[in-house]
Amino acid sequence: MRRRHFLQTTAIASAATSFGAAKAKSRNKVETAEGHPNIILFYVDDLGWMDLGVQGSKFYETPNIDRLAKEGVRYMQGYTPHPRCLPARYGVITGRFPARGGVPGGKGHLQPEDRTMAQALGAGGYKTCFAGKWHLAHEAETLPQNMGFDVNIAAGAAGAPTTYFYPYRKKETDKLKKGWEIGLDKEYIAGMEDGKDGDYITETMTTKCLDFIEDNSSNPFFLYLSHYGVHTPLEAPARLVKKYEAKLKTMKFDGPEYALVDQATGRGDQKMRQDNAVYAAMIESVDESLGRVFQTLEKLGIADNTIIAFTADNGGLSNRGETNGKISGRPLATSNLPLKTGKGWLYEGGIREAFIVKWPGVTKPGFVNERDVVVGSDLFPTFLEMAGLPLQPKNHIDGISIVPSLKGEMFKRGKPVFWHSPTSRPYSTGDTDSSAVRIGDYKLLEWYNADHVELYDLSKDIGEQNDLSKKRPEKTAEMLAVLQDWRKEINAHTRDQSWGK
């Protein structure tokens, strides 16, 4: 009999549940999910749009993700709700643009009164599991097991482990020594104590997820597999690092390794090459995780009744800021070219994401959708419709079900997509406070503290090199008014930019 890998019980101060097999708050079943498809959301941290083989990378190897694309639909205009980790995750789990909930800034994180996709699916009869990076909780009430998930694997307040190798932290923190509530210490990955030296968190977390799948193979389940990889610190198994170090020696690069960013909108420089062997190894480790999921679904005979959605929280880490005129020396992970900039920015490099969905018997295998604009916040209503459950438009207020698009039918977004980034990091990733709106093919960005706007036609200029704001003043004014009215409507958080000057 195989050893169970679910987390051992550890009491949470304000919740009488075990952290690992934690039971969600009681819920009233609205419908039964019996006979309905299983749903897996495979979510990756800091993965750039060009960081997959199927997206065109010549350095990174992702055979399992490439396979998913060949068996499902790949969207070329997929977006995250925000260019940073926590707000992007808020947008996905709630179906709302993060600024509507005061994230970031304002409230800053998930609130107990927020409704999640897990609560909706659980009420419809699904067994629910969250694994990995949660990053949304500042209090026990907003840990996964209190926001609709029956099972919690390695999830809490932490945005990343201090090391990817067991015991996944470099020191015992003062908070832990004082009995800090399990899951709320940002340097502690709770529930992963049953490991051994050399264990790599991407691999061990996947093993626990496979146990969940096996234990629930006879009833519909929702697994939100949210990898900590490929976020910093950049660490990976030696076997994979050696592979990419050798591959790197065979490659040649033209042009500079870095290029300065436009000082009107940010600071520092941008990486122009994909040449980080450790980062490449981290990507392949995440890809291997998906391969193991494939194998388990096939072994259990449930692959044809399991939907898999794949995307990421923000663009790859490709930019570094500056302090007192000196560019940061931090190592950068990747390049998002031909997209402009990366994580933290509202240019396409920060928000455009790989977005792949396999729905057996529904999606056309290998179809590349270049027409439809889809966003991570659309997943909440999409999953409900896939499961045959009623939509909750008052909850997922900004999300739109993309089921018609997945079926190959006509799909019209019908309303703008908004982004708002009021807590920029000019010293870290170089970005400054800004907002953006996309309507049709056009995208407008506003740096509201700098009185600066830019307008792009993304159908012709995916790299955002040709600013049309002066050539198309009427279009610029029209979209700027839409963006500013939206910020007022939702009372979006802003701050005085003088702190960053």
Q: What is the side-by-side strand order in the sheet with 319-320?
A: 258-260, 269-271, 319-320
Average pLDDT over residues 52-63: 98
Residue 32's pLDDT band (cuts 50, 70, 90) = very low
**What secondary structure, in 3-state letters, does 216-272 show?**
CCCCCEEEEEECCCCCCCCCCCHHHHHHHHHHHCCCCCCCCCEEECCCCCECCEEEC
Helix (H, G, I), strand (E, B) or coil at 62: coil
Average pLDDT over residues 369-373: 97
More confidently predicted of 501 and 243: 243
Size of the chain in residues: 501
Contact 182, 155 (CB under 8 A): no
What pLDDT score does 419 carry?
98
More confidently predicted of 209 and 263: 209
What pLDDT score does 496 carry?
54
Residue 321's pLDDT band (cuts 50, 70, 90) = very high
* Residue/partner pairs of 449-452 with CB below 8 Å, 24 or more apart: 449/494, 449/496, 449/497, 450/264, 450/265, 450/497, 452/264, 452/265
More confidently predicted of 187 and 337: 337
What pLDDT score does 1 carry?
35
Check whether 31 has a pLDDT greater than 50.
Answer: no
Nearest to 272 by CA among 337, 192, 324: 337
* Least confident window among 161-175, 292-306, 330-344: 161-175
Residue 34's pLDDT band (cuts 50, 70, 90) = low
Check whether 14 has a pLDDT greater than 80.
Answer: no
What pLDDT score does 273 carry?
97
* Least confident window among 57-71, 163-177, 303-317, 342-356: 163-177
Sequence-distant (6+) residues with CB within 8 A of 488 are: none
What pLDDT score does 271 carry?
97
Residue 184's pLDDT band (cuts 50, 70, 90) = confident
Average pLDDT over residues 33-49: 92
Contact 270, 319 (CB under 8 A): yes
Check whether 245 has a pLDDT greater than 90.
Answer: yes
What pLDDT score does 293 carry?
99
d(CA 223, CA 237): 25
Residue 186's pLDDT band (cuts 50, 70, 90) = confident
- Work out whether strand 151-153 and strand 38-44 pair parallel, antiparallel, or are unpaired: unpaired
Output the average pLDDT for the chain: 90
Question: Cα 332 vs. chain centroid, distance in angstroms?
Answer: 19
What pLDDT score does 325 carry?
83
Per-residue pLDDT reduced to its tens digit, 212-243: 999 999 999 999 999 999 999 999 999 999 99
Class of domain 38-410: alpha beta
Which DSSP helix (H) or strand (E) runs through 68? helix 63-71
Per-residue pLDDT reduced to its tens digit, 90-110: 999 999 999 999 998 878 889
More confidently predicted of 21 and 476: 476
More confidently predicted of 24 and 68: 68
Per-residue pLDDT reduced to its tens digit, 125-140: 999 999 999 999 888 8
More confidently predicted of 498 and 477: 477
Average pLDDT over residues 256-265: 89
Tell me the domain boundaries of the chain: 38-410
Residue 231 carries which side chain, given as an amino acid letter? H
Check whether 277 has a pLDDT greater than 60.
Answer: yes
